[in-house]
């Protein structure tokens, strides 16, 4: 299942929330800041043990004070119209889906729910519609039936873009 919702991702009671982080994994502004504020200090302490994260890669932590069980931190590309930008953005979603699949299998679950923000489209400046197309393609390509995916939009523009692309 793939759905688009307009919500503050830190309020969602899903299994996994994906964070649009930076390479340090030590917090920042935007959704990264909101997640760290909600999750609390213990999230930062766990992130400090991860040794950062490369663009396009993803790493999982506990959710702490967030309603979700786990947080996947992924680092989107800082948009500069390079050929690697869409590849790195695609990999953020694909690698996050793969970690969600591992979580489902490792915990012998029938179903896992995962919520994605619009990675790289805020501070990192990725054009919203292009990013949404890449996000949807990566999630569909991962083809994991027993993972329910929520694309979580914070603004009306993103929400309408995803609605149009998913109808
Ligand atoms: N819930 C859902 N979406 C949110 C929330 C929230 N609470 N806060 C922000 N967003 C949305 C933004 O509106 C945007 O659509 O998340 C999307 C991603 O924007 P950013 O958070 O700015 O992330 P990004 O563009 O990937 O830039 C990452 O910003 O916060 C820093 O540490 C982070 O350096 C990294 C950079």
Residue-wise pLDDT tens digits, 51-82:
999 999 999 999 999 999 999 999 999 999 99
**The total number of structural domains that make up the chain:** 1
**At which residue do the structure tokens 């950062």 appear?**
52
CA atoms in the 13 A half-sphere facing the CB of 110: 0
CB-based burial of residue 13 (10 Å sphere; 0-12 exposed, 13-18 middle, 19+ buried)?
Answer: exposed
Tell which phi-psi region holds residue 27, choosing left (phi > 0), alpha (psi between -120 and 50) or beta: left
Mean pLDDT for 27-32 is 98
Q: Which domain holds residue 96?
A: 2-166
Instruction: Say which CATH number the domain at 118 has.
Output: 3.40.220.10
Whether residue 33 has its Cβ less than 6 Å from ligand 1: yes
**pLDDT on residue 137:** 98
- In the chain, the percentage of residues whose pLDDT exceeds 70 is 100
**102-129 pLDDT tens trace:** 999 999 999 999 999 999 999 999 999 9
Residue 162's pLDDT band (boundaries 50, 70, 90)? very high
The alpha carbon of 117 and the centre of ligand 1 are apart by a number of angstroms equal to: 7
Which tokens is 35 given? 């997640």
**pLDDT on residue 23:** 98
Mean pLDDT for 151-165 is 97
**pLDDT on residue 130:** 98
Whether residue 10 has its Cβ less than 6 Å from ligand 1: yes
Whether residue 118 has its Cβ less than 6 Å from ligand 1: yes
Q: Give the strand pairing for 2-6 and 147-153.
A: parallel
The alpha carbon of 36 and the centre of ligand 1 are apart by a number of angstroms equal to: 12
Residue 86's pLDDT band (boundaries 50, 70, 90)? very high
């Amino acid at each position: 299942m793939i759905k688009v919702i307009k919500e503050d991702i830190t309020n969602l009671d899903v299994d996994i929330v994906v964070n649009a982080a930076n390479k340090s994994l030590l917090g920042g502004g935007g959704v990264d800041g909101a997640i760290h504020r909600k999750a609390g200090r213990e999230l930062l302490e766990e992130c400090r043990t991860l040794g950062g994260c490369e663009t396009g890669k993803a790493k999982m932590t506990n959710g702490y004070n967030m309603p979700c069980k786990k947080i996947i931190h992924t680092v989107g590309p800082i948009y500069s119209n390079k050929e690697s930008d869409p590849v790195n953005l695609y990999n953020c979603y694909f690698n996050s889906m793969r970690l969600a699949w591992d979580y489902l299998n490792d915990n012998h679950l029938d179903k896992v729910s995962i919520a994605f923000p619009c990675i790289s489209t805020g501070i990192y400046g990725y054009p919203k519609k292009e990013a949404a197309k890449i996000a949807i393609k990566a999630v569909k390509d991962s083809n994991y039936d027993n993972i329910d995916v929520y694309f979580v939009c914070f603004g009306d523009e993103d929400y309408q873009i995803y609605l149009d692309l998913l109808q």
